[in-house]
Structure 1
């Protein structure tokens, strides 16, 4: 099977969508499918063509970028020239969704999409936001109508999406288009043996550098942007400090709220900011509790949650209309709190740091859930079976 994979950013870009697309493409090429990936030359100095792990990557010069959407019309010629059986596009991506639609229509090939998230008004410039959203929604209706399958990362997010809520899942009716395909982790790449001498050294160096010896450690990993809710975690942690001075909060990430959050943390000796970390595994390994306090649907899934859960860590996240409550199994494999509720968050942190048995119990359930639901092996095998259904057997 030959697949035309249209996505605005790809390897070596390492964002969440790009990482998922790369892992799926690797899996498909490993199963003797051919994957052509049309993408942007996002740095301007990458090769226009290369084969990486069996994936044929064709990059095109960007003419301009607006709202994080690069425009590179050169891919039109590849769409016309290449021979393929299926067309895939990642959403949201207004420009490429149009190209994918026409690739499917012009060559009468099935289209499938991976629907990662809606475009939220908060992500756009204020003045033209409504105009842009209305235009995108028209494009989106056209693309979703053409798509034979729509892969979504959680049922919870799709049910709260204006674009998806009226569509049915395949397991709900004969003509359902939606297919559950959650984000996933590569267990081999995340494995971290704490008995290994080098790994122990990494952990001890982090402890020594940040003064973490004999401390309970709360960890946050994510971009420092409003929807991640780090502000409420800092407010909650300051209240935790009043009851337990032997607990440290480590915030890993960067973003536009960096200075604001640093100012908010002033007066606390136990809040540590780490702006750039190449290897998160030692931090996941040594933390006692992981917190993702996101406050809006812009947090569609929370990949950091499943990474922390893989390490057997109890996680606290927020009860919003997105995939996070699915990830923690509605509180059975983690703890849910109301968004923007610093007091509720503080209470759950205190409960966990004071109860070793509870942390162990929730952490074990968390790891079990990740291995059963979010391991790459599980998700990728199902994904391949689903796209195989799109090609009639001869």
Structure 2
């Protein structure tokens, strides 16, 4: 396996399920620690996006978690925590500093200045996201992208589209290392029945952060026109987007088939994935959607928008509709509700296909080779 590396990671809020970055960092860190690497995660201080009740720190064998000073104000939390994490990484005894996301990459020059090998993972073109389209946050993220290009020894991207973007915009070559997934244990419906009255195959599931670019508005609008007794379950917390969540609830209030669960994790999350009739991800913008990989790993039939980041993942093993097209989404939802045999066809293929295509152990091995400069 070669030399056991000392690795610093930052850019995540904490090792949790708050977003895709957090899940990826947790998977990389815990597996690298098992390989004998000394891994330190520099997490934000402050609260979980879905409330203080989810704050509890989980310890993982071999992973040191340090919490850096954080200004808990929209737009400043990422900046302040990333600065202190970069500072600690620069002065610490690390072989590799792995920075996640474009904003935190703003400070990639700091550990680079102190002779560290700097790797940046671009989880998506973040300045395109609704909440960062203007103001200081947008400028900071755009500069973070440029600093990654200038200072990082290697840039990891999760999709071919982002790889093309860096080549076309900056003439910079990147490494395509996607996210992974493990095959889970499918759970029977117990907790979701007790809490929400949900039973197997009685609902369509959306699971993700409630942010504009996920296309949830289209989903609500389309589902309201679908003739079915199935419920639409919208599972996830907001991310600096409480007003958007209120807008969604306002849109859905006339239809009692729609259910908002709030942020979910653990047993509740596993049961929601395990018992859905259909999983849908109607996004306009994605990096590489981990929730889609997870949904397929549970053997779900998935209905996704035709953006490359979704379509390239599912290939011909899922249903696809035209991005942001409410009529097409409605037709595909209605067709899925009317033809369970079609849904069953995709359910049978999903888990084997996705678990063979994206496996965490292979992805960790590839990332470690990149750390060592062997790629």
Displacement, 1:43?
Answer: 4.5
Alignment match, 1:222: 208
Q: CA RMSD in A?
A: 3.2
Task: Tell me: CA distance 1:281–1:13, structure 2 relative to 1, closer, same or farther (3 Å).
Answer: closer
Alignment match, 1:191: 185
2:14 counterpart of 1:4: no
Task: Tell me: CA distance 1:139–1:343, structure 2 relative to 1, closer, same or farther (3 Å).
Answer: closer
Alignment match, 2:324: 340
Aligned match for 1:15, one of 19, 39, 43: 19
| 1:56-88 Cα deviation digits (max 9, x unpaired) | 233222256451424155556634542222221
Alignment match, 2:283: 294
Displacement, 1:3?
Answer: 1.9
Task: Tell me: CA distance 1:277–1:157, structure 2 relative to 1, closer, same or farther (3 Å).
Answer: same
2:247 counterpart of 1:260: yes
Displacement, 1:313?
Answer: 1.1
Structure 1 length-normalised TM: 0.79
Please give the alpha-carbon distance, in whole angstroms, between the structure 2 residues aligned to 1:80 and 1:246.
Answer: 57
Aligned match for 2:232, one of 233, 241, 249: 249
Unpaired stretches in structure 1, ≥5 consecutive residues: 169-175, 194-198
Task: Tell me: CA distance 1:112–1:348, structure 2 relative to 1, closer, same or farther (3 Å).
Answer: same
Task: Tell me: CA distance 1:133–1:262, structure 2 relative to 1, closer, same or farther (3 Å).
Answer: closer
Alignment match, 1:277: 264
2:295 counterpart of 1:308: yes
Alignment match, 1:116: 123
Task: Tell me: CA distance 1:167–1:315, structure 2 relative to 1, closer, same or farther (3 Å).
Answer: farther
Equivalences for 1:198-217 in 2 at 5 Å?
199-202=188-191, 204-205=193-194, 209-210=196-197, 216-217=202-203
Contact 2:234 2:258 in 1 (8 A): yes
Q: How many pairs were matched up?
A: 356
Report SS of the residue matched to 1:59.
Answer: strand
Aligned match for 1:69, one of 64, 78, 82: 78
Aligned match for 1:57, one of 60, 65, 73: 65
Displacement, 1:338?
Answer: 1.3
2:218 counterpart of 1:238: no
Structure of larger gyration radius: 1
Structure 2 length-normalised TM: 0.82
Equivalences for 1:314-333 in 2 at 5 Å?
314-321=301-308, 323-329=309-315, 332-333=316-317
| 1:36-60 Cα deviation digits (max 9, x unpaired) | 3334333499xxx997421223322
Displacement, 1:114?
Answer: 0.8
